[in-house]
Amino acid sequence: MSSEYASHFGITNVPYGIASSTIRTQPQCVTRIADEVIFLDPLASSGLFEHVKGLPPGVFRTRTLNDFAALPKEVHKQVREAIQGAYEKGNLAAASESVEDINMHLPVRIGDFTDFSASKDHVLNAGEAITGQRSFPPGFLKYPAAYVGRCSSISISGTPCRRPHGQFIEDYTVPEKKIIYGPSRALDYELEVGAVIGRPVQPGQMLKASDADKHIFGLLLVNDWSARDIQGLEMNPLGPFNGKNFLTSISPWVITPEALESFKVPAPPRDEEVATFMDDKEAVNYAINLEAQVIRNGTATTTCKVGFNTMYWTFRHMLAHHTIGGCGLRTGDLIASGTVSGQADDEHGCLLELTSNGRKPATLNGGTELRYLEDGDEVRLTGRVGNTSDGVGFGECVGVVKPPRGL
Amino acid sequence: MSSEYASHFGITNVPYGIASSTIRTQPQCVTRIADEVIFLDPLASSGLFEHVKGLPPGVFRTRTLNDFAALPKEVHKQVREAIQGAYEKGNLAAASESVEDINMHLPVRIGDFTDFSASKDHVLNAGEAITGQRSFPPGFLKYPAAYVGRCSSISISGTPCRRPHGQFIEDYTVPEKKIIYGPSRALDYELEVGAVIGRPVQPGQMLKASDADKHIFGLLLVNDWSARDIQGLEMNPLGPFNGKNFLTSISPWVITPEALESFKVPAPPRDEEVATFMDDKEAVNYAINLEAQVIRNGTATTTCKVGFNTMYWTFRHMLAHHTIGGCGLRTGDLIASGTVSGQADDEHGCLLELTSNGRKPATLNGGTELRYLEDGDEVRLTGRVGNTSDGVGFGECVGVVKPPRGL
């Protein structure tokens, strides 16, 4: 029997990740085809990549994809083709194990994590849920907003989300606004896509949006767990901190630009003129169909279905804005898109939007109310590229909410 | 002739850093006494630390202080005493080189960088310079504000500061608020103190302020260079990003809690009741005398003299707030205090405050006006602990402003 996600990993996908097993106990570089996880170092030892110029020996034996990610696109392309060729010849069995027998680990060593806010609809919806106003921050039509996130809290899909303690306003509806300390009462998820940096951007190398693609090693799913009450009090004036830094989950498989190539779609038109370096005639998104589910008492409810093609700012724009002041990007850096949301009621990528900050509960399939996440709730993010038959997807990014720690 | 800072590095200091020289080309762990930089690996090889239980072989041969910083306080104490003893016996000459012959490097590998805003006076002054209002952000009397900073842009003292490009409002005084793109016109420094994490805080280990000291390996000076125009446009709603991520400079010597022990002073009283975990009967600052200078055309002007004892929130509070939601801290993490400012006119730790966001220029000793930093200006931050005769200081953290890159 094939797994739920076997069809995400067709022969045109060839994603990269880091895995270990009882046979191969040292985490190392792998790819996946259907439900087979294929270890790349044994393939390299067998000579499969011998013809690939510029592939350092032992590069797949490392605990992260960083060394491989930093290599030129031409090397990535040849490795991909060699894997596809060997699969077609049935030559991968000795290096393969079933996905059932595998532990996945963080795919890259992340030196810096930037989370953008690149969706127009998210900005308008989230603003409305908090302030009642639908308006853009002052610079939003010139560049995507961003904040820096916590690297040490980035964890692999499957890591439980312990409900964080923090300080927040007890009841926003009363004028006295008393600040209390305790477990968050407004735990949320954010459905996002992340880009992993491959070829580094040197400090001072100011990217143009049209020239940024070559620095992206691949994409993955991101759940930027958020405690809205803690975040709400701390946002003014320095942005999110404890409301976000307790956990960020990422999916284990990095989907490469080569796999995504056939799924390019144009970015939405610009509402305002932008600076020359942000002007990107070929601004492209990808046709990624994202979905969020909340699973309570074993019953799943789809809370969001949204296309990544709705994003106003693309990763090309994000990288250009990020580097224009001279900030470098290192291999393995994670650049996330921010919550992906569309205009429709079923296109809200977080509960802040879906439930208007908990004021207008949704009803789950089991019949219970959903305002924010409850202890025991599981959040499942998935992403499929193109149609079901295209064979390219991200798999899932999941996490169960655990009750707060005792003090 | 002794250097300007020889008196900062008396025998009661014994700071740690990473240095290389033409003789010892591989960056490695050092200490400094007066103007002598002492390489610790040769001392270890000579048996000086043989009696220190728990000091791993080769720990001083590494390119960062991380492995040493992670060791128990008792190990740090014994190493310090052994160095002091050997100095008194005149046994350090073979491992020493003059500070003139040394290159200093980043002292630690920094996995995450958090910059707090812990000074009441800075918050009030900076707010007034921007909005005309002297008031605290909503949560400020309950906990220090914070944002996450960019690790890859942290550089050692002496690194030039290239004026960043960015997008900002051309002229805040006109109502149309046109956004333009170009080199920042409001480049500023921030005089800060940073704490380097030693013993890590595990994810989920919620610190109390009274219990946080043991995780601090030592302190250093931080210049959080800021482009106020870029920052001003982007702050709403996600906090500082491109306005800060182009460069953060740190001083090379980590000053240990053992060296600072005799210079503890009580923290200011609390204005409001705080949560139990933030309640710290022994809240202590250190008597550090900080100074900022702007050097233009070879002439230095002291722009700020302020005591670190003015800080409302201490590092103990900062670590407790940082970890209360479950966020871990790793060895080498940098936790900065935010701008240190006092109440008096000569106690403004940045130009935003000193010149009211450039509207009220100061006059430099050379006679020119200072609104924000000009190309060629050098910024020098220094910090001395206690009095001149106490022999404990940070040395300096310097950087010269370079003109913007051509496009």
Q: Which two tokens stand for residue A274?
A: 């932008």
| Distance separating alpha carbons of residues A152 and B276, to the nearest angstrom | 26
**pLDDT single digits (tens) B109-167:** 999 999 999 999 999 999 999 989 999 999 999 999 999 999 999 999 999 999 999 99
For residue B177, list chain A residues with Cβ-Cβ distance below 8 A. Answer: 138
Give me the residue label for tokens 């193109």: A386
Question: What is residue B399's predicted lDDT score, i.e. its pLDDT?
Answer: 98
Report how many Cβ contacts below 8 Å link chain A to chain B: 177
Whether the ω angle into residue A200 lies within 30 degrees of 0, i.e. cis, is: no
| Distance separating alpha carbons of residues A239 and B236, to the nearest angstrom | 8
In this structure, the number of other CB atoms found within 10 A of the CB of residue B47 comes to: 8
> Considering only CA atoms, which of A401, A382, A403, A359 is closest in space to residue A293?
A382
Determine the residue type at A314.
T
Question: What is residue B351's predicted lDDT score, i.e. its pLDDT?
Answer: 98
| Distance separating alpha carbons of residues B403 and B183, to the nearest angstrom | 9
- B264 near A CB under 8 A: no
For residue A166, list chain B residues with Cβ-Cβ distance below 8 A. Answer: 324-325
Q: What is the DSSP letter of B183?
A: E
Using DSSP bridges, classify how beta strands A248-250 and A216-223 pair: parallel, antiparallel or unpaired: antiparallel
Q: B386: left (phi > 0), else alpha (psi -120 to 50), else beta?
A: left
* Pair A251, A381: CB distance under 8 Å: yes
- Chain A residue with Cα closest to B117: A238
B8 catalytic, yes or no?
no
* Pair A305, A381: CB distance under 8 Å: no
Q: Count of H helices and E strands in chain A?
A: 8, 25
Q: Which residues of A are catalytic?
A: 122
Distances (CA, A) of B215 to A151, B250, B284: 19, 20, 15
Task: Residue window 324-363, chain A: list those with CB within 8 Å of chain B.
Answer: 324-330, 333
Measure A333 CA to nearest chain B CA, in Å. 10
| Distance separating alpha carbons of residues A250 and B338, to the nearest angstrom | 31
Which one is catalytic: B8, B76, B122, B322? B122
Question: What is residue B239's predicted lDDT score, i.e. its pLDDT?
Answer: 97
Among the residues of A240-296, which ranges form H helices?
Answer: 257-260
Q: Do A166 and B277 touch (CB under 8 A)?
A: no
- The answer as to CATH 2.30.30.230 being correct for domain A6-105 is yes
Contacts of B336 (CB under 8 A, 6+ apart): B113, B114, B115, B116, B149, B192, B193, B194, B195, B222, B224
Selecting from B148, B206, B275 the residue whose C-beta is nearest the C-beta of A150 gives: B148
Selecting from B150, B227, B328 the residue whose C-beta is nearest the C-beta of A112 gives: B150
Task: Residue window 154-183, chain A: list those with CB within 8 Å of chain B.
Answer: 162, 164-167, 169, 177, 179, 181
Q: Which two tokens stand for residue A351?
A: 């509960």
Q: Quick one: three-class SS letters along B385-399?
A: ECCHHHCEEEEEEEE
Q: Is residue B167 part of an annotated ligand binding site?
A: no
> Does residue B406 surpass a pLDDT of 90?
no
- Please report how many Cα atoms fall inside a 13 Å half-sphere around the Cα of residue B256, on the Cβ side: 26
Contacts of B193 (CB under 8 A, 6+ apart): B219, B220, B221, B222, B288, B290, B308, B336, B337, B340, B383
> Does residue B367 surpass a pLDDT of 60?
yes
Give me the residue label for tokens 């990993």: A9
| Distance separating alpha carbons of residues A407 and B277, to the nearest angstrom | 10
β strands within A198-316, DSSP E? 216-223, 226-227, 248-250, 264-266, 284-286, 288-296, 299-307
Q: Do A181 and B277 touch (CB under 8 A)?
A: yes
The pLDDT mean for chain B works out to 96
Cα Rg of chain A (Å, integer): 21
Contacts of A376 (CB under 8 A, 6+ apart): A296, A297, A400, A401
**pLDDT single digits (tens) B178-223:** 999 999 999 999 999 999 999 999 999 999 999 999 999 999 999 9
Task: Show me where the domains of chain B are located.
Answer: 6-105, 113-402
Measure B274 CA to nearest chain A CA, in Å. 9
Question: What is residue B2's predicted lDDT score, i.e. its pLDDT?
Answer: 83
Q: Do B162 and A230 touch (CB under 8 A)?
A: no
Q: Which two tokens stand for residue B362?
A: 């100061």
Q: Which two tokens stand for residue A232?
A: 């709400």
* Pair A139, A152: CB distance under 8 Å: no
Within this chain, domains A6-105 and A114-402 share the same CATH topology: no
Question: What is residue B318's predicted lDDT score, i.e. its pLDDT?
Answer: 98
* Pair A39, A20: CB distance under 8 Å: no
Interface test with B, best of A109, A179, A187 (most B CBs within 10 A): A179
In three-state secondary structure terms, A78 is helix
Q: Is residue B244 part of an annotated ligand binding site?
A: yes
CATH class of B113-402: alpha beta
Determine the residue type at A391.
G
Superfamily of domain A114-402: Fumarylacetoacetase-like, C-terminal domain (3.90.850.10)
Please state the length of chain B.
407
> Considering only CA atoms, which of A331, A321, A316, A71 is closest in space to residue A212?
A316
**pLDDT single digits (tens) B36-83:** 999 999 999 999 999 999 999 999 999 999 999 999 999 999 999 999
* Pair A196, A112: CB distance under 8 Å: no
List beta partners, residue B396: B382
Task: Residue window 40-59, chain A: list those with CB within 8 Å of chain B.
Answer: none
**pLDDT single digits (tens) B246-264:** 999 999 999 999 999 999 9
Residue-level pLDDT, tens digit, chain A, 407 residues: 689 999 999 999 999 999 999 999 999 999 999 999 999 999 999 999 999 999 999 999 999 999 999 999 999 999 999 999 999 999 999 999 999 999 999 999 999 999 999 999 999 999 999 989 999 999 999 999 999 999 999 999 999 999 999 999 998 777 778 999 999 999 999 999 999 999 999 999 999 999 999 999 999 999 999 999 999 999 999 999 999 999 999 999 999 999 999 999 999 999 999 999 999 988 889 999 999 999 999 999 999 999 999 999 999 999 999 999 999 999 999 999 999 999 999 999 999 999 999 999 999 999 999 999 999 999 999 999 999 899 999 999 999 999 999 85
* Pair A96, A36: CB distance under 8 Å: yes
Q: Do A234 and B139 touch (CB under 8 A)?
A: yes
Q: Is residue B173 part of an annotated ligand binding site?
A: no
Question: What is residue B407's predicted lDDT score, i.e. its pLDDT?
Answer: 53
Percent of chain B residues topping a pLDDT of 70: 99
Q: Do A142 and B242 touch (CB under 8 A)?
A: no
Q: Which two tokens stand for residue A238?
A: 């320095």
- Chain A residue with Cα closest to B332: A152
Question: What is residue A171's predicted lDDT score, i.e. its pLDDT?
Answer: 85
